[in-house]
Structure 1
Amino acid sequence: MIISSLLDTDLYKFTMMQVVLHHFPGAQVEYRFKCRNDNVDLTPYIDEIKAEIAALCRLRFRESELAYLRSFRFIKSDFVDFLDLFHLNEKYISVTPSPVGNGEIEIQVKGPWLHTILFEVPVLAIVNEVYFRATQRDPDYETGRARLRDKIALLTDNPLLDGCKIADYGTRRRFSRSWHAEVILAMKDHMGSHFAGTSNVQFAMQHDLTPLGTMAHEYLQACQALGPRLRDSQIYGFEMWAREYRGDLGIALSDVYGMDAFLRDFDMYFCKLFDGARHDSGDPFEWGERLLKHYDNNRVDSKSKVLVFSDGLDFDKVVSLYLRFKDRAKVAFGVGTNLTNDLGYTPLQVVMKMVRCNGQPVAKLSDTPAKNMCDDEAYVKYLRQVFEIQ
């Protein structure tokens, strides 16, 4: 069984889930899977994927896991009590071949947001591991280890990078769970203060690491259907987040509607209220420069704010970004696929995105158009008009 614990997921799934429990317990949503790689046939693995999902749905939170979650200052006791009763339900997920017959598969999750939010990350990890253990029966771990040693040395051997910290964000696209664990332990043992922690809650618990994460795109997308009006949905999302966490978990996601729309909504109030923002699409250097200028224009000391970079990073890009911004703001880096799936094989670019909430289409209009995923072109056009996106 690939997933052995419901904690084997990203922290931001729990932080968002708590908001859903307290503010949107009746929301109904739909997620859809997409593999962005060309010429990858996943249909031979459908039965195995379904079997792994069935095993996932038999899991329950252990008492030690609940106690760990309860130890976080931002996790409330009633949420942990709910998780004590929680399990994922197979009736909300389906895996079928695409009717197009091109080797793609369709994974659809549909049901109450509160009961489906935890599917995404473990299901993507399952797809990855099933695929790679079938196509790479004798993995080249030595190449992976050599590459990892080179990455670690890039940071630890350069005194100019003393303050550069890397976090593992690689659960959903990892080569395998065992390789993910090996990568994390190597970073813990050899990176020292350069290793900031991991988004994976299970590994954070097992290895005494800092768990990291705040919000994901699905949260702000859902607010398109849950807020008072569409134009104010991003503002509404930030306000509801602040109402729940009262200053904790203060990193705002900036690319659901693109940087222009984000900066229009991220006014002086939010600049002061949130600790910083996370970049996840578009040119990261341009993003950083624009955000720093925005802080200056709003009379906020940018050196007190955090710039989190998390979009398709490799270590060379981390170094370049760190040297550009290290003296002008606090900078942090979340590296995913380049850490947990870099053994010399082409990684799967798999995603599972929310496409509907309460029966209404929802969408992301990122600064990287290829990341957008919505099956309702009329809604996307309307969303662009509302948020003044060209």
Structure 2
Amino acid sequence: MPRCPDLIKPTPDRLFTTPAHGERRNAETRLAELSGYLTPTDRFYVRNHDATPHIERDDWRLEITGDGVERSITLDYAALSELPRVSRIRAIECAGNARRFFAERFGHEAGGAQWHTGAIGVAEWSGVRLRDVLDLAGVTGHAVDVLPEGLDAGRFARPLPIAKAMADDTLVALAMNGEPLPPDHGFPARLVVSGWLGAASVKWLGRIEVACSPRHTHWNTADYTLAGPRWPVEPPADGVPVTVMPVMSVVELDWPARLAAGRQVIRGRAFSGEARVARVEYTIDDSPWRDADLGEPNIAAAWVCWSFAWTATPGEHMIRVRATDEHGQCQPDAVPWNDHGVLFNAVVAHPVIVAP
């Protein structure tokens, strides 16, 4: 039985943890259990706003409509599958990844599931380009926004600007790591929006509106925004809607980690929205910053694996890691508060207990 009752796939303790305030439908990857470049499907984190819906492929339909297309159309799974097939290796990261650190830094929680750093995964997504789907309906030159809507109970929907919707690597994914999408990850079809917050990659697609004016939903006006005293208001949103994810690094160890004394190889992942990571540095117990080794591949809008060797001595230690991307954006030491607890990418101290 699944550990999270609103999910279908098993989420055992050895592979997942459950973020506070998100126990029924959210499962966080235990980064210490990762190996290889891609995140195995059975270890890929889950962030759902409602229970996973049960959808039969033969009954499923995708409607394309709106004043930004020449005609409304409806596609079944077979028709969608006839479009040119493409694959992209891309990360999907929840905008609230690392939200729990707001409480540590500011003394009180930001609203939402209290994720640690495991609300991210990288998979090979296969399907069709969203632009090829929209072209079947004839996108007009006046189109401004594209609003995908899911078939979950709450009909989750969050708009994209037309340029991002028509990008070469914005996909309607039908498969994940070479297999049909699992139900918890959007079967039978979902969006994959490269480099943007996970909420943009709408699951269980059922309807896409192409509009000639901006579209607004709860999820880009009252949540998934940078809101609070330090942030400007962009009406009708309560702050600045989140789009591209920031540069960040994570350590592939439990929290706190427990290691044996002696030579250890510390590993992790670094990523930066739409960009490629250029450098990862580490420090132990406030020693000088040193460069970690970067592995291959290093794919923009996915991640790079990094590592360094450490002769661990008995006692309690702190490992800090920071990443810099190809545009010179580096993880900061601190981030300002925001009410929704999104985009926390400050350098954190990872506790490690070394036994004799």
With the length of structure 2 as denominator, give the TM-score of the two structures.
0.27
With the length of structure 1 as denominator, give the TM-score of the two structures.
0.25
Higher relative strand content: 2
Higher relative helix content: 1
